[in-house]
Amino acid sequence: MTSSGYQVVVLPDPSWRDRSTVIDAICSVGLRVLDVDAAMESKVICAGLMGAQLAPPVVVVARGAACLMLPAVALSLRTQHKDTGGYVLVDPDAPPATDIWPESPVLVVSSTEATGTSLRGWSVVRSEDNEADLVARSVGELLQVPRT
C-alpha cells in the first residue's frame, strides 16, 4: 500500500446521509480517501479526477445515482493510466455493463434485496446498520489490505 496519494475515490451524492461515516471508516483502516466534492455530473467529476494525486490501484465508491457515472469515471481513470482495483456500489442505481466497464471487480453493499446486481455476477452483501464497516471492509478486500 502506498501513502503518496489517494487510493479510494468517493463520488458525490448529496442524499447520502452516512457518507462522512463511510469515509471515516475507510480512513480508519489506513487508506487515503479523495472525497469528490463536486456536482453530480460526469464531466465535472472526471475533470476533478484529472488533477488528483491518485495512487493506483484505485477503488471507486459510489452510491445510488452516482453509480450511473462509473463507466465515465472508469474511462477517465484509464486515460490517466490509473489502475482500478475495483468498485464498491452502495444501494446502486446499477449502470449497464459495457465493453469498457466494469474492467475490475464490483462489490455491492445493499440495504435492500439486491435487484439485478447478482445477475451481473457481482458480489452482493446486505447491510443492516453496518454500512460504513461493510464498505470499508469491501474496499480493503479489493485493495488486499490485511485486517488488523
Q: Over the stretch 24-55, which tens digit does the pLDDT of each residue have?
A: 999 999 999 999 989 999 999 999 999 899 99
User: What are the two backbone dihedrals, phi and then psi, of residue 140, each rounded to the nearest 5 degrees?
Assistant: -60, -40
75 pLDDT higher than 80: yes
pTM to 2 decimals? 0.91
Domains and CATH numbers, the chain: 6-143 (3.40.50.1820)
Compute the distance between CA of residue 61 and CA of residue 83 in angstroms, rounded to an integer.
15
For the segment 102-130, the average pLDDT, to the nearest whole number, is: 80
22 pLDDT higher than 90: yes
Question: Residue 106's beta-bridge partner residues?
Answer: 87
